[in-house]
Structure 1
Amino acid sequence: MSAAASLPLRDVQLPPSPSWWPPAPGWWLVFVAIMLVAAAIWAWQWRRRRARQRWLDLFDAQVAQAGSPVLEVAAIAELLRRAARQYQPGAERLQGDAWLAFLDEKNSRAFSGGDGALLLEGGYRPSVDAEAVQRLRVLARRRYLSLLTERRR
């Protein structure tokens, strides 16, 4: 018998499976792409929140600078017309009931049938109820923001 025949046969030895770390270069690219998308979404939302806050600060500052309730109504009307121009060019020229109907949101008659009607003549009265102006301010502030954030053009 030869020496080769006396060697015991063993099964094929497989190499160890690759470890999970470090990942292959393709996984690094997928990770970087996901991080870039997440950073872009975060930056977009941050910028949008910042712009929203600036608009609200502008609204509050303009109304606060008015000295009387009558001037507050005039300032609110001016701000709403500016926002309407951004939302839909030409909308700022609407008058009367058409203007109030434009300001009404879906399924709401808050302007044409509620506190918002003060916009039509409140800026021209000698005096206005301060509570009515406060209710108008809350209503108009919400609509002002919605006109600026939902740009139609």
Structure 2
Amino acid sequence: MAAPDLVLRDIHQPSAPPWWPPAPGWWWLAAAILVVCLAIVVWRVLRAWERRRWQRTFDAEVALAGSNTGRIAVMSSLLRRAARRHRADGDRLQGDDWLTFLDVGQRGAPFKSGVGAALRDGAFRRDTGALDLDALHALARGRFVDLMTKRA
């Protein structure tokens, strides 16, 4: 039995750990998240830079062509060069096969049934006045950049 002269005291809980500074594991987690976010940002910046570089290349090549038929021929030539990156015989496709290849991944078949159909024979036409060359340029540039930046 307990002696009557024994002095007993209440049990006190220790104080809660402070929220700052966090434990080392939280620092490691924050550093890992920061590294992943930084890697994603760098990757996206490099992809955007690469896309702009190919856009500038396309625009510069097309600008060197003098006539409208020359511009269409240069656009077709650049698209054929880019097609080689994805398909060994991509630059040798002709007619509707060529336009079907260009339409892969595009909405509404803009090359086969839209303004892109001018790439089939536009470089050989005498009169290209009825063609919307600005729309064709934008369409061809977008497809060129897609072909050059996507990995096969």
The interval holding the TM-score normalised by the smaller chain is 0.7 to 0.9
Partner of 1:74: 73
TM-score by length of 1: 0.84
Per-residue Cα deviation, 1:63-95 (whole angstroms, up to 9, x for no partner): 112111111101101111122112323211111
Deviates most, 29-38 or 5-14: 5-14
2:60 is equivalent to residue 32 of structure 1? no
Structure 1 segments, 4+ long, off by >6 Å, are none
1:55 aligns with 2:84: no
**Contact 1:88 1:151 (C-alpha < 8 Å) held by counterparts:** no
Q: Distance in 1 between matches of 2:32 and 2:130?
A: 55
The sequence identity of aligned pairs, in percent, is 46
Q: What are the ranges of 5 or more consecutive residues in structure 1 without an aligned counterpart?
A: none
**Residue number in structure 2 paired with 1:121:** 121
8 A Cα contact 2:95 2:120, kept in partner: yes
SS at match of 2:123: coil
Q: Structure 2: which 5+ residue stretches go unaligned?
A: none
- 2:151 corresponds to: 151
67-76 or 87-96, which moves further after superposition? 87-96
C-alpha displacement of 1:130:
6.8
The answer to which of 46-55 and 123-132 deviates more is 123-132
Q: Distance in 1 between matches of 2:131 and 2:101?
A: 24
Could you give the per-residue CA deviations for residues 37-66 of structure 1, whole angstroms, max 9, x where no partner exists?
Answer: 111111111111111111111111111121
- TM-score by length of structure 2 reads 0.84
Give distance in 1, aligned partners of 2:39 and 2:107. Answer: 35
Contact map agreement 2:50 2:149 (CA 8 A) in 1: no
Deviation (angstroms), 1:127:
4.0
Contact 1:104 1:111 in 2 (8 A): yes
The CA RMSD measured in Å over matched residues stands at 2.2
